Amino acid sequence: MADLRDLLQSADWKTEKHVPVIEGPDKISKGQVLKIEISVGKQIAHPNTTEHHIRFIEVYFLATGEKFPYQLARFEFNAHGESVQGPNTSTIFSEPKVAVVFKTEKSGVIMATAYCNIHGLWRSEKEVKVE
């Protein structure tokens, strides 16, 4: 039986179009509002077609010393060019780019996962220090 952690893929986002890219400050003050942006296909554009697209992005925060991460958000992308006329005939295409805003008094790790309907689950992490 497959273990979920063995199915989460990662790579350098500069060479792989599926890895979620987490952008935001490396350090914040205690209680400061933190805004992070997550995107897929930053350096190399990911296809966004009915047949091949990013379905969702999930964002978690694991505070230092905590056992489990907090789920901050889940974003689903539901418009991939499909319409009643067929695949890729619509003019509406979701883009896998999101922002999350939260506060924390603890340092920790932001974790993001993205799901490609063809190439599966991808992950990345970013450490944030609270001073």
pLDDT digit string, tens, across residues 62-86: 999 999 999 999 999 999 999 999 9
Q: Which of 46, 53, 80, 126 is catalytic?
A: 46
Active site (annotated) includes residue 18 = yes
* pLDDT digits 0-9 by tens, 24-71: 999 999 889 999 999 998 888 898 999 999 999 999 999 999 999 999
Global pTM value: 0.89
Active site (annotated) includes residue 16 = yes
Q: In what order do the strands lie in the sheet with 20-23?
A: 20-23, 33-40, 97-103
Q: Which of 42, 80, 82, 116 is catalytic?
A: 116
Q: In what order do the strands lie in the sheet with 120-130?
A: 27-28, 120-130, 108-116, 54-63, 70-76
What are the domain boundaries of the chain? Answer: 4-130
Active site (annotated) includes residue 80 = no
Active site (annotated) includes residue 52 = yes
CB 128 within 8 A of CB 107: yes
Q: Which of 27, 35, 52, 129 is catalytic?
A: 52
Residue type at 92 in one-letter notation: I
The class that CATH gives domain 4-130 is mainly beta
Active site (annotated) includes residue 116 = yes
**What are the start-end ranges of the E strands in 1-131?**
20-23, 27-28, 33-40, 54-63, 70-76, 97-103, 108-116, 120-130
